[in-house]
Structure 1
Amino acid sequence: MSTNQASLKGVYPILATPFTETGEVDEQSLRELVRFQLAAKVDGIALFGNASEMYTLLERERELIAGIVVDEVKGRVPLVFGSGHTGLEGAVQLSKWAQKAGADALMVLPPYMVKPDGKRMIEYFGAIAKAVDVPIMLQDAPIASGVSIPVPAMAKLAKEYENIAYVKVEAPPTTVKITEVIEQSEGRLTVFGGLNGMYYYEELCRGAVGTMPACEFPDVCVQIYQLFVSGDKDAARALFYRYLPFIRIGTIAGFAMAVHKEVLKAGGVIRSAYVRNPNAPIDDILRSEAFETLKGLDPLVLNWKR
């Protein structure tokens, strides 16, 4: 998919990385998880995001995961690979690898150990843009990374590099920043919402073209999106508000990854809810609180067992 052809919109869940109870990548669960996304009619799939626990993955595991996902998807939907790094050279190398491994677009965090100044940030994203041919999505996720990408820097990058074409806005309040990005980039940047879809409906109203949430409720996100774009905003809003307590509990700092995985495990999509350090497993109280938010709801995940 060349820069000119790529047009990402809709629901792009961030694929979790299923592990076995001993902490290895669980290939069978990963394949089932991809099938679950495709059954939910997602518009695309993102991997190696924060919800993939990408910061815990070894190089050989990235290669294994990419191979499995590409094999399962077989070109049916676009794939977005996260390729941010703590430094410019690492990000360039990872981005080049991702393009070769099957990425249709890249989602790139700014450097997140030493916080870059404006000049360093522009150089970092510019170097990546020059190194690959696929579209680049700037990932503005200051809660996770500690680094906020200023809107004027986004606009400058979009003006200077044709393939810097998307932004995933996760800086609260996401709604306000989405409007700023669209206005200041003069339409050059297409915006997705993040933060697990916490402000999904409002983001769509502000001009976002989709969302990139965690991956246990893709069917719900797809339904909200389809209702919205078909013009039935009232039904889209009602469905979003019905699921909002569940969406919110999937953002609890330190435990969010375990919440996503417990729900996927309960539905038989993955076999284990194991999370890697520094994420923490959830206790029985938090687990029951999470499932309480699903009472009276009927997401695909809870009907997946065959």
Structure 2
Amino acid sequence: MDGKQREQKAIRGVVPILATPFGENGEIDEASLRELVRFELKAGVDGLALFGNASEMYTLLERERERIAEIVVDEVKGRVPLVFGSGHTGLEGAVQLSKWAARAGADALMVLPPYMVKPDGQRLEAYFSAVAKAVDLPIMLQDAPLASGVAVPVPLMAKLAREVDNITSVKVEAPPTTVKMTEVLKQSEGRLEVFGGLNGIYYYEELCRGAIGTMPACEFPDLCVQIQQSFEKGDRRAARALFYRCLPFIRIGTIAGYAMAVHKEVLKAGGVIASAYVRNPNAPLDEPLLREALETLEDLDPLVLRWRKATA
């Protein structure tokens, strides 16, 4: 197995997917990335995820991944666990990427299925098993058919959890997420924990179904932390009320083709990052969509829109 043997950190709660800030020249903006990590930590997140779909991971070069990991590990300094996305279009690529992630500082891996040629059940099982057996890290299966085109069957998840010790959780992003979460928990007989995704669009209902956290985009972490903490304290009314107030904003951050730009425009508006540049194939926002996104935040007072003043 690759990667140093180290104490495993519990992954639960609010674990946002870090955006990748680019300058207007399209290159990684390292200063903005450092500021983004500081913002997340100030918001009280329970962990951070790198190289997810909301990171525009599918546009990143190998050297860029390496530099992003270096910067994030340096800024976090072990204060929260780091989850690295290490899915690939093929088994060998996923194994290689996962081994690199283990060396680069990941505390856990989030593994997307192959997303070019769609695998059958036998090849999907071999893919996840090979990744898990290649590293000494907890593995989170990412069931995100809207992004990958591949739905991971619940019986296969349960089989993998029985047979491979370090396959320990699932990020369920297959609508309706709540129904599938219940099936995962039931069929895995407690071996798998579940996280929500899809930018938190069913966050409250997922918590009610037994999810231990969420992995949304990264511009509203303080609001997610408030929802999570209220729920865990037993105040479901407060958790539900805040979630429903956030829902219009969450929803607008799921618009296909424009979601990455929504996340970044909000981060830019508060001074967390310098540019909202997104890489092809993502599209920038037009003025009406930008206005609509910001209007949904008017009554929420999120940390992101106070960040410039908070750090002045």
Task: Identify whether the pair has TM-score above 0.5, normalized to the shorter chain.
Answer: yes
**Match among 100, 118, 126 for residue 129 of structure 2:** 126
CA distance in 2 between partners of 1:50 and 1:3 (Å): 27
CA distance in 1 between partners of 2:10 and 2:36 (Å): 24
CA distance in 1 between partners of 2:230 and 2:206 (Å): 14
Deviation at 1:4, TM superposition (A): 7.8
Q: Which moved more, 1:5-14 or 1:106-115?
A: 5-14
Q: Which residue does 1:104 correspond to in 2?
A: 107
Deviation at 1:2, TM superposition (A): 6.1
Q: Which residue does 1:230 correspond to in 2?
A: 233
**Match among 235, 247, 253 for residue 256 of structure 2:** 253
Q: Which residue does 1:47 correspond to in 2?
A: 50
TM-score (normalizing by structure 1): 0.99
Deviation at 1:3, TM superposition (A): 8.7
1:201-222 Cα distance to aligned partner (Å, 9 max, x none): 0000000000000000000000
Q: Which residue does 2:80 correspond to in 1?
A: 77
Asked whether the 8 Å contact 2:8–2:107 carries over to 1, the reply is no
Deviation at 1:179, TM superposition (A): 0.2
Deviation at 1:297, TM superposition (A): 1.7
Pair 1:63-2:66 in alignment: yes
CA distance in 1 between partners of 2:156 and 2:96 (Å): 23
Q: Which residue does 1:139 correspond to in 2?
A: 142
Counterparts of residues 208-287 of structure 1 (less than 5 Å): 208-287=211-290
CA distance in 2 between partners of 1:129 and 1:63 (Å): 21
Deviation at 1:292, TM superposition (A): 1.2
CA distance in 2 between partners of 1:73 and 1:196 (Å): 23
Residue ranges of structure 2 left out of the alignment (5+ in a row): none
Asked whether the 8 Å contact 2:10–2:81 carries over to 1, the reply is no
CA distance in 1 between partners of 2:67 and 2:132 (Å): 25
Identity of aligned residues (%): 79
Counterparts of residues 182-193 of structure 1 (less than 5 Å): 182-193=185-196
Asked whether the 8 Å contact 1:139–1:167 carries over to 2, the reply is yes
Q: Which residue does 1:150 correspond to in 2?
A: 153
Q: Which residue does 2:34 correspond to in 1?
A: 31
Q: Which residue does 2:170 correspond to in 1?
A: 167
Q: CA RMSD in A?
A: 1.0
Q: Secondary structure at the match of 2:22?
A: coil
Q: State the one-letter code of the partner of 2:203.
A: Y
Q: Secondary structure at the match of 1:304?
A: helix
CA distance in 1 between partners of 2:277 and 2:169 (Å): 32
1:10-44 Cα distance to aligned partner (Å, 9 max, x none): 00000000000010000000000000000001000
Deviation at 1:7, TM superposition (A): 2.3
Counterparts of residues 284-299 of structure 1 (less than 5 Å): 284-299=287-302
Deviation at 1:194, TM superposition (A): 0.2
1:86-117 Cα distance to aligned partner (Å, 9 max, x none): 00000000000000000000000000100000
CA distance in 1 between partners of 2:283 and 2:14 (Å): 27
Q: Secondary structure at the match of 2:141?
A: strand
Pair 1:7-2:10 in alignment: yes
CA distance in 2 between partners of 1:138 and 1:94 (Å): 15
Q: Which residue does 2:23 correspond to in 1?
A: 20
CA distance in 1 between partners of 2:23 and 2:42 (Å): 23
Provide the aligned length of Structure 1 versus Structure 2. Answer: 306
CA distance in 2 between partners of 1:296 and 1:152 (Å): 43
Q: State the one-letter code of the partner of 2:231.
A: F
* Distance change in 2, residues 1:204/1:117 (3 Å): same
